[in-house]
Amino acid sequence: MTTTAQRQVEPRYDAVAIDRKWQERWERDRIYRVEDDDPRPKWFEMTMYPYPSGDLHIGHWYAMAPSDAHARFRRMQGYNVLHPIGFDAFGLPAENAAISRGVHPYEWTMSNVENMRRQLRSLGAIYDWDREVVCCLPEYYRWNQWFFIKLYEQGLAYRAKAPVVWCPSCQTVLANEQVLNGVCERCDTTITRRDFEQWFFRITDYADELLDFDTLDDWPDKILTMQRNWIGRSEGVEIGFDISDYGLEEREIRTFTTRIDTIFGVTFIVLAPEHPLVAKLTSASKRAEVEAYVEQARAASEIDRLSAEREKTGVFIGASARNRLNNEQVPIYVADYVLTTYGTGAVMGVPAHDTRDFEFARKYRLPIRTVIAPIEWNGREPEEAHIGPGFMTNSGAYDGMTDEEGAIAIANDVERRGWGHRAVTYRLRDWLISRQRYWGTPIPMVYCNECGVQPVPESELPVLLPEDAEFRPTGESPLAINEAFVNTVCPKCGGPGRRETDTMDTFMDSSWYMLRYCTPQFDGGPFEAETAADWMPVQQYTGGAEHAVMHLLYSRFFIKSLRDMGMLDIDEPFMRLFNQGVILGSDHEKMSKSRGNVVNPDDVVGQVGADAVRCFLMFIGPWDQGGPWSDEGINGVVRWLNRVWSLVEYDARELDAHPTDPVAVRDTQRVLHRTIRKCYDDLDKFKFNTSIAALMELVNHLSRVWNDQSVDAGTWRDCIENFLLILAPIAPHVAEELWERNGHAYSVHQQAFPIWDDDLAAEEEITLVVQVNGRVRDRITVSAGIGEDDARQLALDSQRVQAHVDGKTVRNVVYVPGRLVNVVVG
């Protein structure tokens, strides 16, 4: 649209040339090279590395530009800052590209990396490219394999059956992303699930320690809450229901409950559809019905199964179990609202005191027996489950106790009689590492008919990902058809062996990449211990909140396991965390190709330069909230940088030709020092939008005093110099150029961040707000040092106040020092 194009404000300097000039100079002079032995205190500040999807999106800039500004700020505070970059280069999209376009995942990924490197350089960040990490390269992923073997040796890696999403038509494993409304995205076939032997890491061994956030200096509370809920620690009792009548190897059904006090209210037992006892206990007459139900449950997603809204379904399996506390036989059902992955995969149904059990009992006409009497219970069957406290009833010897007392007494008795024991369960599940994919790290294990599972010897690492594989679906992992890869020798006996053909989850790569940044070229191990110990832990990590639970928990687990293997002496990888928000299209919708609202940073940077884009992204709003891109909004910062340019180019000597106004000089000093203080505090806390607003106010002030010619050249030069220093981390190219034009020595990025003077920042006068009954009625300018008595008297003497007090009694006068007086009348 021509109207939009006309509205675009142009920089009054050659932004593109200045970007290029300084990027080349910084590169040539290596001013951002990070030395391990630099004597300054170390500051390791990381932003989550991007997936090389092809083009750098403005969303990447939104993550990278402010984090670079913060790292630059720390650098100017005197730290030796490591602010590295890399690429999360393994993953599904590369394989999709291979299938759809016939490009090899390696070619696709590395050409994307190449393009994104160029784009990232255009940002003008302080990345030390010698420390770049690309995790699809053997020199990186060999250490994934090395770690895998270490974890295996520690007993932290194990194999077990686990379901994968399966498309029966494509004969392939699907990622959740490839399933839309329960059908395969490629062929619309309804998906099901299949059990595969897969590798897991025992993250649950660390569940309790992962709940300890005490040493994390500064993580957002919401992330800690999400992690806490994700881990989901529950204390309760594991108790068996007797099924010895069936003559099975299993003599009981183990259930987990957090409400053992309600055990006398059990009127049924529910098994998860995947529970191994389902097949064994189902009676002949029920078999067909139960099998059909189990098959149907395999197609349902967990989100649907756990939905409280969805109608509960289940099938009676034609068997019963005995509640040992009251010797009652209760029917056994299979129902998909019970999951195998939580607790024991079996629950005791207590409809009177559990909402889901209540719904289930209503639907299948099962008895509902109150055993915890609410305070004013009328003795009738309740209208809904009573979750709250009460007194034990219908519970034999425990009647009359409170529910809390009952829970303790029953747990003690259950333990004494050997029917069960107190237990803790977690919602957190072990980390499933295996992927039936090509584009990932090969799992370095060999299967031998004689020796079983054997790790590949360290000396044979890396197990290279072969170039040729079958990306099209065959029903097996893509590597399985590669005979040369699969067939090997057993590391133990030398006989024939078969390699593991699954690859690793890409969260493996991101679990330890911060360590690789410390010593990226080291080839004696994943990292060189002493140097890594100097840098680690990461002082500040920034990235999207979408990684709140998975990546951030995996990484915490990983570091703790390395610590326990003696490789590191830290408990946590990331001391501080900040989550930026999401940048939206100018239509306030999520950016997507289909909506056509995607902003290409190359285009904008080519028009207005990197600094205007950086400034605008930081100015949109609070970084953690994200916000919409705006083609018009960016005019504001372009215009501002233009004004900055003019202001700095003025010849300060002109000022000395005019008489100075001492009040204007004092005001100007105050504005400058308040700006320094404000920016120092705000940049520290990632509050870029208000820092830039404060800098704009300073520029507005300087424009006024230039027009008035009311300050002396010395005051002016002091303002300009400090202003450029504060601008440097935000707009590094323009700041550098103006620093040079202003006659200062290269480089502005090797200067210290300015410090304010509290006396110069102080206000001499304040506005005293006077309220009557909380409503503002007057504002009085008073000396900043005014005393309480004087303030109260001034307030009461105000004519505007008296007009509102007139005829009423003054009941109270509230005084807030330096701010307001509130006269309460009635």
Binders of RNA in range 554-613 (CB under 7 A): 582, 588, 590
Say if residue 84 is preceded by a cis peptide, omega within 30 of 0. Answer: no
704 is an interface residue for RNA by CB under 7 A: yes
Q: Which stretch binds RNA (CB under 7 A): 302-310, 367-375, 601-609, 710-718?
A: 302-310
783 is an interface residue for RNA by CB under 7 A: no
Site string for RNA, 329-348 (x = CB under 7 A): ------------x-------
Cβ proximity to RNA: between 171 and 244 the closer is 171
Hey, what amino acid is at 445? M
435 is an interface residue for RNA by CB under 7 A: yes
Cβ proximity to RNA: between 70 and 324 the closer is 70
Cβ proximity to RNA: between 423 and 769 the closer is 769
- Restricting to residues 365-404, name those near RNA by CB under 7 A: none
By C-alpha distance, which of 282, 299, 383, 402 is closest to 334? 282
Q: Which stretch binds RNA (CB under 7 A): 86-94, 369-377, 402-410, 527-535?
A: 86-94
Cβ proximity to RNA: between 5 and 484 the closer is 5
Q: Which stretch binds RNA (CB under 7 A): 34-42, 224-232, 280-288, 565-573?
A: 224-232
Q: Which stretch binds RNA (CB under 7 A): 223-231, 233-241, 372-380, 714-722?
A: 223-231
By C-alpha distance, which of 71, 14, 10 is closest to 42? 71
Cβ proximity to RNA: between 192 and 642 the closer is 642
Q: CB of residue 776 vs RNA: minimum separation in angstroms? A: 5
5 is an interface residue for RNA by CB under 7 A: no
Q: Locate all alpha helices (DSSP H) within 445-491, ordered by sequence.
A: 483-486
Q: Which residues contact 609 (CB under 8 A, 6 or more apart)?
A: 11, 15, 16, 18, 19, 733, 734
Cβ proximity to RNA: between 8 and 751 the closer is 8
Hey, what amino acid is at 480? A
Q: Name 576's bridge partners.
A: 218
Cβ proximity to RNA: between 531 and 635 the closer is 635
Q: Which of 621, 670, 681, 744 binds RNA (CB under 7 A)?
A: 621
In the block, tokens 């106004």 appear at: 661
Residue 648: helix, strand or coil by DSSP? Answer: helix
Question: In this structure, what DSSP letter does residue 526 have?
Answer: S
14 is an interface residue for RNA by CB under 7 A: no
Say if residue 462 is preceded by a cis peptide, omega within 30 of 0. Answer: yes
Count of residues interacting with RNA (CB under 7 A): 99
Cβ proximity to RNA: between 320 and 798 the closer is 798
Q: CB of residue 35 vs RNA: minimum separation in angstroms? A: 30
Cβ proximity to RNA: between 183 and 570 the closer is 183
Q: What angle do CA 599, 603, 606 make, to 5 degrees?
A: 145
If 0-12 CB within 10 Å is exposed, 13-18 middle and 19+ buried, where does residue 444 land? buried
9 is an interface residue for RNA by CB under 7 A: yes
211 is an interface residue for RNA by CB under 7 A: no
Site string for RNA, 495-534 (x = CB under 7 A): ----------xx---x------------------------
Confirm if 508 and 433 have CB atoms less than 8 A apart: yes
- Restricting to residues 673-702, name those near RNA by CB under 7 A: 687, 689-690, 692-693, 696-697, 700
Q: Which stretch binds RNA (CB under 7 A): 33-41, 283-291, 330-338, 639-647?
A: 639-647
Alpha-carbon span 681 to 667, nearest angstrom: 21
285 is an interface residue for RNA by CB under 7 A: no
Confirm if 709 and 654 have CB atoms less than 8 A apart: yes
In the block, tokens 């399996």 appear at: 317
175 is an interface residue for RNA by CB under 7 A: yes
- Restricting to residues 399-428, name those near RNA by CB under 7 A: 427-428
Tokens coding 649: 């180019």
711 is an interface residue for RNA by CB under 7 A: no
Q: Which stretch binds RNA (CB under 7 A): 118-126, 277-285, 524-532, 541-549?
A: 541-549
782 is an interface residue for RNA by CB under 7 A: no
Q: Which of 284, 303, 657, 745 binds RNA (CB under 7 A)?
A: 303
Q: Which of 549, 713, 761, 782 binds RNA (CB under 7 A)?
A: 549
Cβ proximity to RNA: between 372 and 823 the closer is 823
How many Å is the maximal CA-CA distance in the chain?
A: 108
804 is an interface residue for RNA by CB under 7 A: yes
Cβ proximity to RNA: between 321 and 338 the closer is 338
Q: Which of 16, 92, 782, 805 binds RNA (CB under 7 A)?
A: 92
66 is an interface residue for RNA by CB under 7 A: no
307 is an interface residue for RNA by CB under 7 A: yes
Q: CB of residue 544 vs RNA: minimum separation in angstroms? A: 7
Q: Which long-range contacts (CB under 8 A, 24 or more apart) does 138-144 make?
A: 138/462, 138/464, 138/465, 139/523, 140/509, 140/516, 141/90, 141/441, 141/462, 141/465, 141/509, 142/461, 142/462, 143/512, 143/516, 143/525, 143/526, 144/441, 144/504, 144/508, 144/509
Confirm if 695 and 639 have CB atoms less than 8 A apart: no
Confirm if 344 and 255 have CB atoms less than 8 A apart: yes
Q: Which of 72, 74, 275, 437 binds RNA (CB under 7 A)?
A: 437
- Restricting to residues 721-750, name those near RNA by CB under 7 A: none
Alpha-carbon span 519 to 44, nearest angstrom: 13
Radius of gyration of the chain (CA): 34
- Restricting to residues 641-670, name those near RNA by CB under 7 A: 642-643
Cβ proximity to RNA: between 700 and 783 the closer is 700
Q: CB of residue 17 vs RNA: minimum separation in angstroms? A: 19
Q: Which of 37, 214, 221, 311 binds RNA (CB under 7 A)?
A: 221
Alpha-carbon span 428 to 554, nearest angstrom: 11
703 is an interface residue for RNA by CB under 7 A: yes
Alpha-carbon span 447 to 542, nearest angstrom: 41
By C-alpha distance, which of 347, 361, 355, 365 is closest to 386? 355
Q: What angle do CA 304, 306, 310 make, to 5 degrees?
A: 60
Q: Name 816's bridge partners.
A: 820
808 is an interface residue for RNA by CB under 7 A: no
Alpha-carbon span 574 to 542, nearest angstrom: 10
794 is an interface residue for RNA by CB under 7 A: no
Hey, what amino acid is at 370? T
308 is an interface residue for RNA by CB under 7 A: yes
822 is an interface residue for RNA by CB under 7 A: yes
Instruction: Kindly state the helix (H) or strand (E) to which residue 193 belongs, with its residue range.
Output: strand 192-201
Confirm if 595 and 585 have CB atoms less than 8 A apart: yes
